[in-house]
Each structure stands twice: as C-alpha cells, then as structure tokens.
Amino acid sequence: MANFKTHLQVASVGGGLAASLFYSSGHLTAGEAFLCWIMGTLGGLLPDIDSDNSHSLGILFGAFSVIACGFTAVAWIEIWPLAWVWGACALVFLLVQFGVRLIFAKFTVHRGIFHSVLACFLFMFIAATGAAFLGASGTTSWFLALFLGFGYCVHLLLDEIFGVDFMNVAIKRSFGSAFKLFDYGNMTTSAIMAVAVIGLFFLTPSYAEFVSILFDRDTYLTLVDGVDW
C-alpha cells in the first residue's frame, strides 16, 4: 500500500493541476481554486481515517476539529454572545479531537468501509452541504466536493496500485481491498452508509450549473488553446 508521503504528494500535485484547470477556464476565482486544491489534498489523506496510524489521524482530526469550530462559530455567532461562541468552539474542538477520534480509532477497520467509493460519496455530499451552509454558491460547493472526491479516489487507486507486486506478477493479499464500491464483507455497515449517502444527497445544493460546466467542452479549451479564446 502507498504510504502517507506518497498520498500527500500525489494528491497535492493532482489537486493543484485540476484546480489550475478550472481557474484558467474562469470557473473558479483564485481563492476558490486555492480552497479546491486544499480539499483535493485533504481528500487524498481522508480514506486513512480508518487506519490507526497516529500520523494520518493526527492531521485529519486536526483539520476536522478546526473545521468543526468554524461551523460552530458560523451557526451561533448571530444568536449567542461571542464569549459563549468561543466556549462552544473550545468544547467542540475537544469533542472532535479526543471523543470522535477515539471512536474512529477504536471502531473502524483499516481498508474497511472507508476505503470505498460509497464513503467517497458520503464525504463529497458532506462537503457540498457544508460549503453551502457556509454561504458558498451551489456551483462552488460542488466544486469543493468534487476536489475532495477526486483526492479520495486518487488515494484508493494508489493503495490498489501499490498493493500489486508488479515484479513477480503476483497479486498481494491486499489487492481489491482499497478500491471497492462498498464493503462487501460488511453489508450492515454498507447499508447504513448507503442510507446516509442518499439522505445527505437531498441536503446538497443545486448542481445543474456545476454539471453543465463539467460537461462543457469549452471548460477544457485552455488546456491546449491558451487563455485567449
């Protein structure tokens, strides 16, 4: 399987290339492209949320706890006095950093359900819904989700590629355990996640414009024609 450093490098380069494409086509502002790049990089680390490797978990839950604080602030800042909001953020930070992290470390199996396309959709829909909650347009929200999903799939593919021993043309035991649609060995968990994914989809913002951008040939013209078109 690919190691942490490989995942970080490939996801950040891939995310950067993709972000520059949509920036050059004029569909993302510089700030949005930068955020998309960060999402792509984060997505490249995200599947290893099921590993007990303290390095990956430390970075992921560091990011999660900060993001959770941001959401807490946005949700309550117009309702509560600021001092209360700060207190709530501190509580949320501790809860995610220690409580949720402990639950993940204890109950997830490495290369289980989180190394699947189903989990990728789960995180994409969470990202799209979350970005819209923070005030991003539907299109921007979906771009952020797309980059997260892109990084996620790159991670799964890398794990799969590095799980195959090309030299001996033999296939190691880990083959097929990284890139899978859902966790074939655990149907109950897969079913629960599938219900969550479907439910979350109904909360996501409008995707019509985003889909039309994605499938418009003009979006990709700057790849070969330069910006003067």
Q: Which parts of this chain interact with Zn ion (CB under 5 A)? A: 47-48, 159
When CB distances to Zn ion are compared, the closest residue is 159
Q: Is 176 left (phi over 0), alpha (psi -120 to 50) or beta?
A: left
The residue among 171 and 198 lying less far from Zn ion, judged by its C-beta, is: 171
The residue among 32 and 48 lying less far from Zn ion, judged by its C-beta, is: 48
**Which residue, 13 or 134, is less far from Zn ion as judged by CB?**
13
Shortest CB 219 distance to Zn ion, Å = 30
Query: Minimum distance between the CB of residue 21 and Zn ion, rounded to whole angstroms?
Result: 26
Produce one character per residue of 137-176: b if its CB has 16 or more CB atoms within 10 Å, e if not: ebbbbbbbbbbbbbbbbbbbebbbebbeeeeeeeeeeeee
- In the bound state with Zn ion, the residue whose beta carbon lies nearer, of 112 and 205, is 112
Q: What angle do CA 222, 228, 229 make, to 5 degrees?
A: 75
Tell me how far, at minimum, the Cβ of 175 lies from Zn ion, in Å: 14
Q: How far is CA 144 from CA 71, 90, 99, 113, 141, in A?
A: 16, 26, 27, 23, 5
Q: Please state the closest distance from residue 56 (CB atom) to Zn ion, in A.
A: 8
